Amino acid sequence: MPQTSPRAPERARWHRRFGAAPVLAALSVLALTACDAKDKQTATNASHVRVEAAAVTSDVVRASATGEIKARVESDLSFKISGRVISRTAGVGDHVKAGQVLATLDPTEQKADLESARAAVASQEATLRMTSSVLSRRKALTRTGAMSQQDLDSALQQYQSAEKDLDAARAKLETAMEALQQTVLRADADGTITARDVETGQVVQASTTVFTLAHEGERDAIFNVQESALSGRTVPRSIEVALLSRPDVKAQATPREVSPVLDRSLGTVRVKLAISNPPEEMTLGSAIVANVVLDRQERISIPWQSLFSKTGTPAVWVVDPETKISRMKPVTIERYDASRVVLSGGLEPGELIVVDGGQFLRENHPVSYSEDQTR
Q: Where in the chain is the domain with CATH 2.40.420.20?
A: 47-60+298-374
Distances (CA, A) of 192 to 93, 96, 103, 165: 6, 6, 15, 46
pLDDT, tens digit, 9 for 90 and up, residues 263-300: 888 888 999 999 988 898 998 889 999 998 887 788 89
Q: State yes or no: pLDDT of 230 exceeds 90.
A: no
Identify the CA nearest to 74 among candidates 185, 182, 193: 193
Q: How far apart (Å, rounded) are the C-alpha atoms in residues 275 and 141?
A: 80
Q: In what order do the strands lie in the sheet with 191-196?
A: 74-78, 209-215, 191-196, 95-96
Q: How far apart (Å, rounded) are the C-alpha atoms in residues 160 and 156?
A: 6
pLDDT, tens digit, 9 for 90 and up, residues 99-133: 999 999 999 999 999 999 999 999 999 999 999 99
Work out the number of other CB atoms within 10 angstroms of the CB of residue 276. Answer: 12
- Mean pLDDT over 233-251 rounds to 86
Q: How far apart (Å, rounded) are the C-alpha atoms in residues 138 and 155?
A: 7
Q: How far apart (Å, rounded) are the C-alpha atoms in residues 299 and 56?
A: 5
Topology of the domain covering 66-72+215-296: Elongation Factor Tu (Ef-tu); domain 3 (2.40.30)
Topology of the domain covering 47-60+298-374: 2.40.420
Who has greater pLDDT, 132 or 27?
Answer: 132
Q: Where in the chain is the domain with CATH 2.40.30.170?
A: 66-72+215-296
CATH of domain 77-104+183-214: 2.40.50.100
Q: Where in the chain is the domain with CATH 2.40.50.100?
A: 77-104+183-214
Task: Please report, as a single letter, which amino acid is at residue 255.
Answer: P
CATH of domain 107-179: 1.10.287
pTM equals: 0.58
Q: State yes or no: pLDDT of 252 exceeds 70.
A: yes
Which of 20-29, 280-289, 344-353, 364-373 is the least confident region?
A: 20-29
Q: State yes or no: pLDDT of 209 exceeds 70.
A: yes
